[in-house]
Amino acid sequence: MRDRGAETVLTGVDEIADEWRELCRWDPALPPESAPPIAPAVITAIGQALQRPQPIGWGSDPEVEKVIDVFSRAVGSTDVAIGQLACLREAVRRHLTGVLGAKEEAEITARLHVLLDRAIGRAANRTVERLRDAEMVDPVTGLPNRRALERDVRREVGRADRYRRHFALIVVDIAGMGEVNHRDGFVAGDDMLRRMATALTDGLRIEDSAFRLDADDFAVLLPEIEAGSAGRGAGVVAVAHRISSNGAPSFAWGAASFPSDGSALDELMVVAADRLGRDR
């Protein structure tokens, strides 16, 4: 029974795709002329999943999840992704109606509902995750922002507490940013920010992270490094020199260590800011 229903879907991919597009086009809850992306690939994945045994606990199908990840990324909007997948459910239902016996149709429709319910949940989760990730990225430099720093410091504090380790936080302040904005315009200022972002990322180890905080301020998180006395330990000084040699605009920097200089981000930021000194 399952194979007959799956075969009906797989041999009718083009027809179902056309029906799906038409339903999306006229759905009042979707934007005008809304067209589902990669429609044949999504339908094929659904049809192939119908051929496989039902996962234990009525779980999701891994191959469908992969396709839905691409689909939801292309759609972008949570509401549109959910609305389009609801239209797909109706398109497949129409294609199956009258083709199979009543019992076969009921069984394949039940399986279809599970697959599409899981697909809708997956699409919603993925679009929400992307929006959340976008909220943690600075649009000018592409670096993680202050919110991302808060998240990552919480993680590092937990790791350091658990394994009795330490980490350093460097605060970086670009010199003369306000003057450049006033004299040459904000485009030139944004170029300085991007130069600093490139110098930071090029000068760090794989395990290190750079962040843009606000205006002309940046931060660097350095696991397993001590800031040392007055924030001028060998490890942080080496990082600052690498940043400087990578074409960074003139900057001042200061560093603090967890746990010797503070146990929370705000405490470490205050200490690091108090230690700001010109690098070059």
The model's pLDDT over 166-201, given as tens digits with 9 standing for 90+, comes to: 999 999 999 888 888 888 888 888 999 999 999 999
Put residue 261 in one of left, alpha, beta given phi > 0 → left and psi -120 to 50 → alpha. alpha
pLDDT on residue 59: 62
Distance CA 242, CA 245 (A): 5
Please name the amino acid found at residue 116: L
Cβ atoms 64, 34 nearer than 8 A: no
Cβ atoms 43, 20 nearer than 8 A: yes
This prediction's pTM: 0.59
Structural domains in the chain, CATH included, are: 2-133 (1.10.490), 146-278 (3.30.70.270)
Q: Residue 98 class from Cβ within 10 Å (0-12 exposed, 13-18 middle, 19+ buried)?
A: exposed
pLDDT on residue 280: 42
**Residues of the chain below pLDDT 70:** 1-2, 54-59, 278-280
